[in-house]
Amino acid sequence: MHSPQESKTSLLSDASKRLQQAMAYVDISEDAIARLQHPKTSLTVSIPVRMDDGSLKVFSGYRVRYEDTRGAGKGGVRYHPGVTLDEVQSLAFWMTFKCALLDLPFGGAKGGITVNPKELSKAELERLSRGYIDAIADAIGVDIDILAPDVYTNAVIMGWMMDQYSTIQRKLCRGVVTGKPLALGGSKGRDTATAMGAFTVIQAMLSKFKLITEETTVAIQGFGNAGSILAGLLAEAGYKVVAVSDSKGGIYAPQGLDIASVKEHKNQSREMKAVYCQDTVCSIIEHQVISNQELLALDVDILIPAALENQVNQDNAADIKAKYIFEVANGPINSDADQILSQRGIYVFPDILVNAGGVTVSYFEWVQNRSGWYWTLDEVNQRLRDKMQIEAEQVWQLSQELNISIRTAAYVHALKRLGIALDAKGNRNYFRS
Ligand code: NAD
């Protein structure tokens, strides 16, 4: 994650610099801006968990609802040893802008537990997840704040969380959590939604630059839910995915990687290697083992950070050689690095646009849970693609018309919607006149 502790303490203030940059281009009241500079509620909880050996461990957990004027809070839950309140607040801030950018009827929220889930047994993980819901139950709800998966949480954990909340409420509350297993009211296409949304944005935006797909090289940092599925979609479409990585490091093959084989090998052995399999015969192909820092600095056309925040910062921004960066992770580039990249003419497509496919299909899941009418995979994917294309195009047009970065354009687009909603509650001009 963002290893140095000091870099974490400033995550929220760094995130809100993007708001300040966008303010200059939006006719928005001072009152609305004042509200957007502070999270609405920040809950810190302690979660006691009985471990398998009989001992008791107490974990710290958080749930932040940043803003909910446009609708109930919406945001994932992260399990990671580096989780802090500051990080959860920044993630909730980004969710606020992401939901407004996609015109979803949600505000922004986020949650997390400071834990290394790899060190827990499955039973301990279940007790921790249910304990988290016990601790935050009063702060969430189908029309209050809706949970979803994030780093190191998945559909099974979402199922436990929905079940625990329903037990507390004494009724089935499917819509309080999205990203659930299909059998518990999940939506078709939710597992692939973030990658599918990112793929749609990449295709739509690269069409502006007339690149030849087969000659376009891609490096992806993070080979989890979002990164590995996106790698597969890009490879299938003909892009040359030359490097991928996980928390332990990466692999690089200039001729391109067979992503399906890399995925299969990683699933079986938990190691990342360029192993290609044909029928039952598998062989390791020539590849370099590289660090995450080396991956970020590769001479590729497209760089996709899909792991964690603050990966590209003032220390390594000058080393980046990619011409286009698509942020699949939340906050992978800090504001200092943004300036350096912009001066160097690198196009950065921001997280609140690129990774919004996940929350968009989470919205679809919430709608399906409330209506009891479930959609086909084709319906989900078509609606996702339509939404992503429309909003990506509007962001692009804004950036061209105002001659501003694509990130600032994305914030301007979202801020306009947030401003209208916040001002509809009344602002100082209304009360003075
Ligand atoms: P995940 O837990 O499935 O995968 C995370 C990946 O990052 C893993 O491959 C892990 O090994 C790798 N990783 C962890 N620490 C790393 C490090 N220090 N350097 C390099 N790689 C590292 O998580 P995910 O759901 O794929 O989420 C990845 C990013 O995408 C996060 O920033 C998340 O907030 C964002 N995101 C995810 C979704 C979603 O629906 N999954 C939606 C929006 C945004």
Contacts of 52 by beta carbon, 8 Å cutoff, 6+ apart: 121, 123, 124
Q: Which spans in 289-405 are helix H?
A: 292-296, 335-343, 351-354, 357-371, 377-402
Name the more confident of 308 and 303. 303
Q: How confident is the model at residue 38 (pLDDT cuts 50, 70, 90)?
A: very high
Q: Which secondary-structure segment (H or E) carries 112?
A: strand 108-114
In CATH, the architecture of 189-367+377-433 is 3-Layer(aba) Sandwich (3.40)
Q: How confident is the model at residue 4 (pLDDT cuts 50, 70, 90)?
A: very low
Cα–Cα distance between 339 and 403 in angstroms, integer?
15
Residue 284 burial (C-beta neighbours within 10 Å; 0-12, 13-18, 19+): exposed
As annotated, the residues of the chain forming the CATH 3.40.50.10860 domain(s) are 42-184
Nearest CA to ligand 1 atom 32: 329
Q: In a mutational test of the pocket of ligand 1, which residue from 308, 316, 353 has the highest number of ligand atoms less than 8 Å from its CB?
A: 308
Q: Specify the CATH class of 42-184 in words.
A: alpha beta
Instruction: Output the pLDDT for position 346.
Output: 97
Instruction: Output the pLDDT for position 306.
Output: 97
Cα–Cα distance between 276 and 208 in angstroms, integer?
34
Q: How confident is the model at residue 276 (pLDDT cuts 50, 70, 90)?
A: confident
The predicted model gives 202-231 an average pLDDT of 95
Give 424 Cα–ligand 1 centroid separation in angstroms. Answer: 37
Polymer length of the chain: 433
pLDDT digits (tens, 9 = 90+) for 237-259: 999 999 999 999 999 999 999 99
Contact assessment for residue 227 and residue 250, using Cβ atoms and an 8 Å cutoff? no
Instruction: Output the pLDDT for position 128.
Output: 98
DSSP 36-99: HTS-SEEEEEEEEEE-TTS-EEEEEEEEEEEE-SSSSEEEEEEEETT--HHHHHHHHHHHHHHH
Contacts of 113 by beta carbon, 8 Å cutoff, 6+ apart: 47, 59, 60, 61, 62, 77, 78, 79, 83, 128, 132
Instruction: Output the pLDDT for position 275.
Output: 74
Q: In a mutational test of the pocket of ligand 1, which residue from 158, 194, 201, 251 has the highest number of ligand atoms less than 8 Å from its CB?
A: 194
Give 279 Cα–ligand 1 centroid separation in angstroms. Answer: 31
Q: How confident is the model at residue 169 (pLDDT cuts 50, 70, 90)?
A: very high
Q: Residue 293: CA atoms inside 13 Å, Cβ hemisphere, count? A: 7
pLDDT at 3 over 70: no
Give 307 Cα–ligand 1 centroid separation in angstroms. Answer: 4
Mean pLDDT, the chain, whole residue set: 94
Q: How confident is the model at residue 218 (pLDDT cuts 50, 70, 90)?
A: very high
pLDDT digits (tens, 9 = 90+) for 97-156: 999 999 999 999 999 999 999 999 999 999 999 999 999 999 999 999 999 999 999 999
Residue pointed to by tokens 């790698």: 231
As annotated, the residues of the chain forming the CATH 3.40.50.720 domain(s) are 189-367+377-433
